[in-house]
Amino acid sequence: MLKAIPAEETCSQVNPTGAPDFEEMAIGSKDVFEPLKSVSKMVVTNLS
């Protein structure tokens, strides 16, 4: 049987360096806009 684990535990295992992460559920295109906007800003800032 699969068991749900808390997001914090998952994050610590998958993202040990603490990179920015986003807890979102994309049900429609509206729900993905904010994380996409944030990631785009980080990319542009990093390339500048």
CB neighbour list of residue 20: distance below 8 Å, 6 or more residues apart: 38, 42
Reported as a single tens digit per residue, the pLDDT across 5-36 is 887 888 888 888 888 887 777 676 667 788 88
Domain edges within the chain: 22-48
**pLDDT level of residue 44 (50, 70, 90 thresholds):** very high
What integer pLDDT is reported at residue 40 of this predicted model? Answer: 93
Q: Give the per-residue pLDDT at 26.
A: 67
Rounded-to-integer distance, Cα 30 and Cα 24, Å = 11
pLDDT at 41: 93
